[in-house]
Amino acid sequence: MKIGFIGAGNMGGAIARGIIRSGVVQAEDVFLYDVNPETSGALARDAGATAVRTAEDLTAAADLFVLAVKPVYVKDALRACYSGLAGKAVVSIVAGLTGDALSRQLPEGTRCLQTMPNTPAMVNEGVTALCEENTLTAGEMAFVRRMFEAIGRVYTLPARLIEAESAVAGSGPAYVAMFIEAMADGGVLLGLPRAQAMEMAAQTLIGTAKMMLASGKHPGAVKDMVCSPGGTTIEAVRALEKGSFRSDVLEAVVAAGERALAIKRETEKG
């Protein structure tokens, strides 16, 4: 299958590199279009794909398209590609763009799917939700799953849960980055050099997450493995609980989910 990318920024680039490096598609079957030719050209050189100069060239070259532009540019991008998308398939990774809102901006007969990947896809450790309610063929859906599996874990969810996934996985890297920064700040306060403290905090998070996923242990059980009676870690846990750490994280996820639902309602009106 020939894949066209409408937008060649960070997320589009992550997907293009991932599917080529994993062998999901051959480099010669990947085509890139961006309003900034330097962006698509740089990605093409890095990934071995082909950068095209116009939207018309892109739609003539590919069968399935990944819409990978910022939300504010969706209408312009789809308008530029409009006629060439008829009868083909469009996979959106645009935050807040529902399948219904997308389909209203496409020619009749164009198949579409809403997805929600997150930024760790850039290092092949992403989380992507595929919306159950879509109009792709079974073969196209299977291909898209393989495509996103090349950059991380993939989940198929009903449309009503896409915003929940966005609140956990889509916004999650921001929460995690803040936690790493805070851990590193604590290390610096205790005398560690900044660079080492940051690396230690990040690696500890990576290692803990991998250990939890590999073992299948509940997060509470992983915590208990480290908390010796009367020890340093249980004292730290006490301090976190006193500061309402878990409650604050829970409220952050809910706030992100509520905002995602509000954005969804706004896009559906448009």
- pLDDT tens per residue across span 18-71: 999 999 999 999 999 999 999 999 999 999 999 999 999 999 999 999 999 999
Give the per-residue pLDDT at 149: 96
> Measuring CA to CA, which residue among 84, 116, 80, 85 is closest to residue 98?
116
- CB atoms closer than 10 angstroms to residue 223: 14
CA dist list (Å): 45 to 31, 39, 41, 97:
12, 10, 6, 30
Match 């916004």 to its residue by tokens. 171
**Distance separating alpha carbons of residues 62 and 233, to the nearest angstrom:** 55
Summarised one tens digit per residue, pLDDT across range 112-143 is: 999 999 999 999 999 999 999 999 999 999 99
How high does pLDDT run on average in the chain? Answer: 96
Q: Is the pLDDT of residue 81 over 80?
A: yes
Stated pTM of the model: 0.93
Nearest to 129 by CA among 87, 101, 171: 171
**Mean pLDDT, residues 226-241:** 97
Q: What is the pLDDT of residue 270?
A: 61
**Residue listed under structure tokens 């952050």:** 252
Structure tokens at 181: 């920064």
Please name the helix (run of DSSP H) or strand (run of DSSP E) that holds residue 92, with its range, or none.
Answer: strand 89-92
Report the alpha-carbon distance of residue 79 to residue 24 in Å, rounded.
29
Predicted pLDDT at 35: 94
Exposure string (b/e) for 89-106, b if CB count within 10 Å is 16 or more?
Answer: bbbbbbbbbbbebbbebb
Give the pLDDT of residue 266.
Answer: 82
DSSP-derived secondary structure letter, 168: I
Whole-angstrom Cα distance, residue 240 to residue 182?
Answer: 12
pLDDT of residue 197: 98
Asked if residue 98 has pLDDT above 80, the reply is yes
**Tokens 């230690």 — which residue?**
200
